[in-house]
Structure 1
Amino acid sequence: MMTHAQGVVAAQVNRPNFEQFVEEKANTSKSFSTENFSFQTLAEVTKTILHHAFWLAEQQQQLSSKEYKKLLLDQGWKGEEKRYLKIAAVFGKFLPQDLAQIEPRTIYQLAENSKKYQQVIDRLLDLSAITQEAVRSLTKKQRTSKEPRPEKPSIWRRLKNGGRYCQIPPIHEASESTGITLQKMMDEEGFSAQHIVAEAIALRQAYKEGQLVRSSGR
């Protein structure tokens, strides 16, 4: 697979014109009949997006921070450039024509979720022809290959200093018996909820280990 050549030349377009071009190209199918619609239109949109992303990334590298910010402000792109810089970073090993057969929405999806789809992106380098169908197939295989792992409940929470503490999740009961009993113990005995719970757990553990002997009442 060819790598992205240095010095990609792309026309400097302002945001409204570029966005309008992409939207018009992507929506061409709405104005064309099925017989006349050409998938080449979508291919041109994808290549235009990639050309623009690569060009924008090069401007960021070549210009000073002040000049780059001015460029974004002048073109009305301040805050909009991040998604295209992601595209440039993710697909830097490709040329725009390499990915022309991928629909524009998929390009955005892969770039914005690059960690999730990293294996898919890496596999594209091994393909002689990168098509929308190939990307869909790789994405589907990645989803089915990952078996969902049951989430193990945990009561542990981390402190900023590296320590940890346990936090018991809320207890939902229709009768509210546990909460009522705990509150009563706190009021009558003057102990905190933490103390009473810790004592109850210690007693339960001792019972499981056979250290408690039940005596018959007289």
Structure 2
Amino acid sequence: MMTPIQGVTAPINSRQFQPYVEENSDAIADSSFQSLTDLTKAILHHAFWLAEQKQNLPVKQYKKLLSSQGWEGEEKKYLKIATTFGKFEPQDFAQVEPRTIYQLAERSKQYQKVIDRLLDLSVINQETVRALIQKQRTPRAARPKKPSIWRRLKNGGRYCQIPPIHEASEQTGTTLQKMMDEEGLSAQQIVAEAIALRQAYKKGQLVYADKRNEC
């Protein structure tokens, strides 16, 4: 954690910051670059100050501080900021917009590689941070899914569904239909029987008999 900032005796009310990010983003875009710089640094100063109070004050006194300032429940986002950017100085992010600071802190685990990479940069600005975030978001190639014939029922059960069989000759479909017509069996019954016979053959329980060799 960075050392306490000399001359800072009280934090700026945290309610000042969040509206800029959540409700008045257009106002941020229209404000001067200098004002944006001051706001980002103030957010980090406040986060570090609050984390210092939490660390040094007795629990009751710390809670009293939060209650007296109306910060209860809001302090968590700033403690996250302090934890996420504890190895930096507020000035390091002077060229980064407030929204990005909140985003990195709220998803610090997801963007840990981005934060670690920032430690290696001599200059940190909005463009470089956004580029690292975008790179982090690059989707990985999806692994091919293992084919499955199972489908779920609303009651939690399941059933198997054989995908459509496409053949130019239509031999499988034609043969199956002929068996159904001649034997009066359902497609499911015939398929089940065929699978059982194939399984038995694979296990060596069936062998091919050539009638020509029979006596």
Q: Residues 21 and 178 (structure 1 numbering): CA distance in 2 closer, same or farther, change over 3 Å?
A: closer
CA separation of 1:121 and 1:178: change in aligned 2, threshold 3 A: closer
Q: Helix, strand or coil for the counterpart of 2:152? A: coil
What is the correspondence of 1:48-127 to structure 2 with a 5 Å cutoff? 48-127=42-121
By how many angstroms is 1:115 displaced?
1.0
Larger Rg: 2
Inter-CA distance 206–133: structure 2 relative to 1 (3 Å threshold): same
Q: 2:10 aligns with which of 12, 16, 41?
A: 12
Q: Is the 8 A contact 2:54 2:62 kept in 1?
A: yes
Whether the 8 Å contact between 1:22 and 1:45 is mirrored in structure 2 is no
Residue 212 of structure 2 corresponds to none
CA drift of 1:147 comes to: 1.5
Q: Residues 204 and 84 from structure 1, CA distance in 2 versus in 1: closer, same or farther, beyond 3 angstroms?
A: farther
Q: Which amino acid aligns with 1:104?
A: P
2:131 is aligned with 1:149? no
Measured against aligned partners, the alpha-carbon deviations of 1:117-152 in whole angstroms (never above 9, x if no partner) come to 1111111111111000000111122223x5133375
Distance 1:78 1:139 in 2: 31
What amino acid sits opposite 2:16 in the alignment?
Q
The CA distance in 2 between the partners of 1:102 and 1:7, in whole Å, is 22
**Which of 108, 124, 132 is 1:130 aligned to?**
124
Structure scoring higher RCO (CA < 8 A, sep ≥ 6) equals 1
TM-superposed CA distance for 1:112, in Å, is: 0.7
Partner of 2:181: none
In terms of mean alpha carbon deviation, does 52-61 or 205-214 score higher?
A: 205-214
What's the RMSD between the two structures over aligned residues? 3.8
- 1:188 equivalent in structure 2: none
Counterpart-to-counterpart distance in 2, 1:28 and 1:109: 14
Question: What secondary structure is seen at the aligned counterpart in 1 of 2:60?
Answer: helix
Tell me the percent identity. 50
- Normalised to the residue count of structure 2, the TM-score between the two structures is 0.63
TM-score relative to the length of structure 1: 0.63
Question: One-letter code of the match for 1:80?
Answer: E
Q: Does 1:209 align with 2:202?
A: yes
1:170 is matched with which residue?
152
CA distance in 2: counterparts of 1:28 and 1:83, whole angstroms: 18
Q: C-alpha displacement at 1:54, in angstroms?
A: 0.2
* CA apart distance, 1:11: 4.4
Query: Within 1, Cα distance between the matches of 2:63 and 2:127?
Result: 39
1:86-125 deviations in whole A, cap 9, x for unaligned? 1000100111011111110000000111111111111111
Decide whether aligned partners of structure 1 residues 24 and 150 sit closer, same or farther in structure 2, where only a CA change above 3 A counts. Answer: closer
Number of positions where the alignment pairs a residue of Structure 1 with one of Structure 2 = 169
